[in-house]
Structure 1
Amino acid sequence: MTLRLGYGTNGLTDLRLDDALGLLADLGYDGVGLTLDHMHLDPLAPDLGARTRQVARRLAGLGLGVTVETGARYVLDPRRKHGPSLLDPDPDGRAARTALLVRAVEVAADLGAHAVHCFSGITPPDTAPDTAWQRLTGALAPVLEAADRAGVPLAVEPEPGHLLSALADFHHLRTLLGDPEPLGLTLDIGHCQCLEPASPADCVKEAGPWLRHVQIEDMRRGVHEHLPFGDGEIDFPPVLEALASTGYDGLTVVELPRHSHAGPELARTSLDFLRRAAATTNGAAPC
């Protein structure tokens, strides 16, 4: 299997989107994790359709694959990070997040993306776990219907501190929803190092049947901080070999959202690092 590497635009927010895409293509990336946000492709802009078509042409011209990511911090509310979420106590708040994700599915279909990423959100104070799970499943139902119509999988990410924070929680969600075909998994390799009981490589193997999107960066045990490669504790060749063993053929996207100030240089060094790591494995050829 050939490792298909991408870089997240949430780590290139100091660049115009056209410039960011050109940079990634010039460096040799295979694709991009495109976060829908005001500074790049604004999902709430009145000209979204025209802009999406323009981005699709740009991606095609550069030969870049794409995953649509929905982790923008303040896209819905300028005062609440990631708010409102799918768990918001206000039904209108949950509906706003659901509508955003449905729109993301539509954008993904227009771009030819291989998945749409999302996460659950943090459980609000004084909210019982059963209530939080009920809110999550109810809010995701229209998104999964849209994903099914569009033929674009929804890849839910376990996020430290969220209701759905670990692989076990993803499987709980699958059970609650009846294991719908459009529901898949975003696996963040750093998050595995941060909090999963198994090693990152073993997490990849366990997650294989449901993998629809992969994010990658370095991290330390017990500390949710996305780090450049070599600054954390992860042994990457076994992770990349595990990815190869699953048959996963989507993008593996570098996720450094707090390093945009050094984005162009980190995009270059990250690609070099992952190519070297892949070259030492038996299964994942460098891209």
Structure 2
Amino acid sequence: MKLGYPTITWGGVVGMPGGVTSVKDSFYLTAGSTADAFRDIAAAGYTGTEVFDGNLLEFVDEPQSFTHLLEETGLTLVSVYTGANFIFDDIVNEEMAKIEKAAAMAATFGAQRLVIGGGAQRAHGPADGDFQRLASGLDRCTEIASAAGLTATYHPHLGTLVETSEALTKIMKLSGIHFCPDTAHLAGGGGNPAELIRRYSDRLAHVHLKDWDSRSQRFMPLGEGELDFNAILQAIRETGYDDWLMVELDYYDGDPKTAAEISKRYLDKLLATQTS
């Protein structure tokens, strides 16, 4: 297993203002410094990273700056995260144009994977055909990623159409996209992460690990919540997956580097125990 850490904790999740009026510009963005995040991630002992599509826009005109950061820190850009509503027919082509740009940037900067989130929640609940529309969008994302030399994976997420394990079952039957389990989002939606990883073992192509505290409804560094990562890692091993594990934390009250270090120490100890 190789360990990576996304830059999201350095500034949290924001978005690009242009996306409010132009769907083609609705990129995700982390508000913090990419350079600081890379240096902290490398110092904590990780060897890979994941960034939002919007953060790559900073480097489009000077790609060598991004390459130099990777070389300086010794990090591998493993994956790029993007997403869309997918269920609104009038804007889906604009969303796909954005995802095509995200895939092109990801490929330019050497990423291997495109992580897809989304599937909008309507104000009054899902409409007939929403899951089919989402599935169609995800299959288009798979084609876009493949054309760019990337693997597309779907990331179920709280606050989207696919929160629960029941919703995940629907979308996995309708779409052929690969699976990116996020342990905390799966648990927050009432699912058992280890069980769901086993259920979709043949679709597993990327992994997000973070802990979950159901009492506070908060994401936590590994080992500080309630999830059984021994069982989760065992389930991952059973699938035959032996690749990047992204240790993610959307938000942390303290220093993001400290959170990364807490999770790294916990995971190193757990992995050593499992292989001893």
TM-score, normalised relative to structure 2: 0.80
Match for 1:4 among 2, 12, 16? 2
The one-letter code matched in structure 1 to 2:80 is V
Match for 2:79 among 51, 67, 74? 67
Task: Output one character per residue of 1:33-81: Cα deviation in whole Å (capped at 9) or x when no partner.
Answer: 21233xx433xx6xx533445323432453322211126xxxxxxxxxx
- The alpha-carbon deviation at position 9 of structure 1 amounts to 0.8
Q: Structure 2 unaligned segments of length 5 or more: list them.
A: 12-30
In 1, are the aligned partners of 2:157 and 2:186 still within 8 Å (CA)? Answer: no
Please, which moves more after superposition, 204-213 or 273-282? 204-213
Aligned mates of 2:63, 2:162 — CA distance in 1 = 30
1:279 aligns with 2:269: no
SS of 2:218's partner is strand
Match for 2:185 among 167, 170, 191? 191
Aligned mates of 1:191, 1:161 — CA distance in 2 = 10
Aligned mates of 2:197, 2:142 — CA distance in 1 = 24
Match for 1:207 among 200, 203, 215? 200
SS of 2:246's partner is strand
Counterparts in 2 of 1:174 and 1:243: CA distance versus 1, 3 Å: closer
Aligned mates of 1:227, 1:28 — CA distance in 2 = 19
In 2, are the aligned partners of 1:11 and 1:260 still within 8 Å (CA)? Answer: no
- The alpha-carbon deviation at position 205 of structure 1 amounts to 2.4
Aligned mates of 1:277, 1:103 — CA distance in 2 = 38
TM-score, normalised relative to structure 1: 0.77
SS of 2:120's partner is coil
- The alpha-carbon deviation at position 152 of structure 1 amounts to 0.8
Residues 92-103 of structure 1 mapped to structure 2, 5 A cutoff: 92=91, 94-103=92-101
In 2, are the aligned partners of 1:186 and 1:212 still within 8 Å (CA)? Answer: yes
In 2, are the aligned partners of 1:53 and 1:111 still within 8 Å (CA)? Answer: no
Residues 1-287 of structure 1 mapped to structure 2, 5 A cutoff: 3-13=1-11, 15-37=32-54, 40-42=55-57, 48-65=59-76, 66-70=78-82, 85-87=85-87, 89=88, 91-92=90-91, 94-126=92-124, 128-177=126-175, 179=176, 183-197=177-191, 199-221=192-214, 224-259=217-252, 261-282=254-275
Specify the alignment match of 1:78 in structure 2: none
Please, which moves more after superposition, 224-233 or 150-159? 224-233
Counterparts in 2 of 1:149 and 1:53: CA distance versus 1, 3 Å: farther
Please, which moves more after superposition, 108-117 or 119-128? 119-128
Task: Output one character per residue of 1:84-130: Cα deviation in whole Å (capped at 9) or x when no partner.
Answer: 6222x4613x3333222222211221222221111223321346543
In 1, are the aligned partners of 2:154 and 2:179 still within 8 Å (CA)? Answer: yes
- The alpha-carbon deviation at position 214 of structure 1 amounts to 0.9
Q: Structure 1 unaligned segments of length 5 or more: list them.
A: 72-83
Pairs aligned (count) = 256
SS of 1:229's partner is coil
The one-letter code matched in structure 2 to 1:185 is F
Please, which moves more after superposition, 136-145 or 208-217? 136-145
Task: Output one character per residue of 1:228-279: Cα deviation in whole Å (capped at 9) or x when no partner.
Answer: 2333211222222322232223321222112175201111121111111211
Aligned mates of 1:53, 1:95 — CA distance in 2 = 31
The one-letter code matched in structure 2 to 1:20 is A
Q: Relative contact order (alpha carbons < 8 A, sep ≥ 6): 1 or 2 greater?
A: 1
The one-letter code matched in structure 1 to 2:153 is A
In 1, are the aligned partners of 2:210 and 2:247 still within 8 Å (CA)? Answer: yes
Counterparts in 2 of 1:207 and 1:217: CA distance versus 1, 3 Å: same
The one-letter code matched in structure 1 to 2:202 is P
Aligned mates of 1:111, 1:250 — CA distance in 2 = 20
CA RMSD of aligned residues (A): 2.7
- The percentage of aligned residue pairs carrying the same residue is 26
The one-letter code matched in structure 1 to 2:86 is L
Aligned mates of 1:134, 1:208 — CA distance in 2 = 23
- The alpha-carbon deviation at position 224 of structure 1 amounts to 4.6
Aligned mates of 1:211, 1:52 — CA distance in 2 = 31
The one-letter code matched in structure 2 to 1:215 is H
SS of 1:158's partner is coil
Counterparts in 2 of 1:138 and 1:245: CA distance versus 1, 3 Å: closer
